[in-house]
Amino acid sequence: MNTNEKRFAELGIAPGILSVIEKLGFKAPTPIQGQSIPVGIEGKDVMGIAQTGTGKTLAFGIPMIQRVLSGVGRGLVIVPTRELALQVAESLHAVGSPLGVKFTVLIGGEPMQRQLRSLARKPDILICTPGRMIDHLDQKTVSLEKVRTLVLDEADRMLDMGFAPQLKQILQTVPKERQTMLFSATMPDEIVHIARTYMQLPIRVEIARQGSTAKDVTQELFFVSQEDKSRLLEKILQDYKGSVLVFSRTKHNAKRIAATVRFLGHTATEIHSNRSLGQRTEALAGFKTGKYRVLVATDIAARGIDVNNIELVINYDLPENPEDYVHRIGRTGRAGASGHAISFARSNQRDDVRSIERLVRSTLPVSKLPELPRPLPGVKTGIPDERPERRQMRRFPHMDRSQSRTRVKVEGSRSAELQQNGYARRHAEGPKRTPRFRSRGPRRERFGR
């Protein structure tokens, strides 16, 4: 047994699991694994804080699988998104399936009947999203009485997505005599409240301070107008040749960005809430295998994309929450690899940039705009601004609409005069009223009676 295997063996992992880990090619535990696995195997509550891409899944997965194989009840893993649920299931299945551990994934967008058939096989570990678990609890199709190990993965993201009521209901449903492991990249006050309320003397494992970014990820910032963002994106895609992950704030903009990238000649797809589970799964699988070079995603998938060797992450839109910036750029530079992150910001978003810099405790390097390609015909350059008339009405709400209309006309022109006179005449006469029903004579005459 070499030195790397001894390091895993020193964590108290059972021989059977060690053998599977060796076959999977894991050489040494990551820092979060090295500190969390021994505590988890002892059955103690764990509250772990670590950067994304540091191996948190096996940090809670190995202790859970070992406890299940020891006959200590069932396991339950709660994650915020469907994509993350599928990826957690894939990682745990690789370790537990050779040892006979059965898994079931309960997520939205999948037929209930298929999940009921899977539950009938009495799985050892359930991996689910909060909403679908509540659906099964309401319909009494699943029982949590035998759950002895509970994991809340990406807990801060679940709270950001509004799953606090569902989490509270699940935490009140599972038995009190259990082990709870909570993992997150940030630790807001809501997470601390959950730890104090539903956990028993949790051991805090903090690999990196909150808001820290991966050390192997370089960052870059461009101040660019909304109209020039697509041209800057075109220039960057020409300079970088590897896989690129682009983040958008809205699903509609994500769809438009993906269409623009395809128009530029690159293979691209998108992931957002309007896409079905099958479409999102196919898009992620295609991005992994190289079918698509560019993947455009919203923040709903920021923590559900576990793809190695992503060369570049582009924040086409700055995130709404500064914490999401850490999770976005954490998609590159995973597993010890290097990566690069580029952010686009408008000139009026300097406050948002400062909020991000306060969180990461560093200044984002600002780069000068390169010479941008000429706009291609058929490609929309950014989101169009509001109509001048509407901007003017918002700026001067007391102004009559007729005045705002005539301002765009040449003063003293015949068309402006007619427009003004017509508007005044219509309002002086009042709106024309037409009768609701037209009389056609007595009923008997109309029907020939």
Tens digits of residue pLDDT in 81-103: 888 899 899 999 999 999 999 99
Q: 1: part of which helix (H) or strand (E)?
A: none
Does the pLDDT value for residue 387 go beyond 70?
no
pLDDT of residue 275: 85
Contacts of 100 (CB under 8 A, 6+ apart): 69
**Per residue in 30-56, pLDDT tens?**
888 999 999 999 999 999 887 666 788
Q: Do 3-206 and 217-360 have matching folds?
A: yes
Measured at the CA of 121, the angle between CA 65 and CA 140, to 5 degrees, comes to 100
**306 DSSP assignment:** -
Looking at the domain covering 3-206, what would its CATH class be? alpha beta
pLDDT of residue 331: 79
Going from N- to C-terminal start, the domains of the chain cover: 3-206, 217-360, 388-424
pLDDT of residue 115: 94
- How far apart (Å, rounded) are the C-alpha atoms in residues 312 and 388? 37
Does the pLDDT value for residue 141 go beyond 80?
yes
When pLDDT is cut at 50, 70 and 90, the band that residue 413 belongs to is: very low
Cα Dmax for the chain: 106
Q: What sign has the CA pseudo-torsion 204, 13, 16, 70? A: negative
> What mean pLDDT value characterizes the chain?
81
Does the pLDDT value for residue 224 go beyond 60?
yes
Does the pLDDT value for residue 60 go beyond 60?
yes
Strand ranges across the sheet with 312-315: 217-223, 339-345, 312-315, 244-247, 294-297, 268-271
- How far apart (Å, rounded) are the C-alpha atoms in residues 132 and 119? 13
Measured at the CA of 336, the angle between CA 369 and CA 283, to 5 degrees, comes to 70
**Per residue in 149-161, pLDDT tens?**
999 998 888 887 7
pLDDT of residue 189: 80
End-to-end CA distance of the chain: 106
Contacts of 439 (CB under 8 A, 6+ apart): none
Q: How many residues does the chain have?
A: 449
Does the pLDDT value for residue 404 go beyond 50?
no
When pLDDT is cut at 50, 70 and 90, the band that residue 16 belongs to is: very high
Of 373 and 302, the structure prediction assigns the larger pLDDT to: 373
Percent above pLDDT 90 for the chain = 49
When pLDDT is cut at 50, 70 and 90, the band that residue 326 belongs to is: confident
Radius of gyration of the chain (CA): 29
Query: Is residue 55 a contact partner of residue 32, using CB atoms and an 8 Å limit?
Result: yes
CATH number of 217-360: 3.40.50.300
- How far apart (Å, rounded) are the C-alpha atoms in residues 25 and 335? 13
Q: Which two tokens stand for residue 28?
A: 């040494």
Q: What sign has the CA pseudo-torsion 40, 155, 146, 59? A: negative
Does the pLDDT value for residue 327 go beyond 50?
yes
The predicted model gives 312-321 an average pLDDT of 92
Does the pLDDT value for residue 414 go beyond 60?
no
Q: Which amino acid is at 57?
A: T
Measured at the CA of 268, the angle between CA 250 and CA 229, to 5 degrees, comes to 55
pLDDT of residue 96: 94
pLDDT of residue 382: 52
The predicted model gives 276-290 an average pLDDT of 87
pLDDT of residue 390: 39
pLDDT of residue 226: 92
When pLDDT is cut at 50, 70 and 90, the band that residue 389 belongs to is: very low
* Torsion angles phi and psi, residue 380, rounded to 5: -75, 130
Burial of 88 (0-12, 13-18, 19+ CB in 10 A): buried
pLDDT of residue 214: 61
Does the pLDDT value for residue 77 go beyond 50?
yes
Burial 129-165 (b: 16+ CB within 10 A, else e): bbebbbbbbeeeebebeebbbbbbbbbbbbbbbebee
Which bin fits 375, alpha (ψ -120 to 50), beta or left (φ > 0)?
Answer: beta
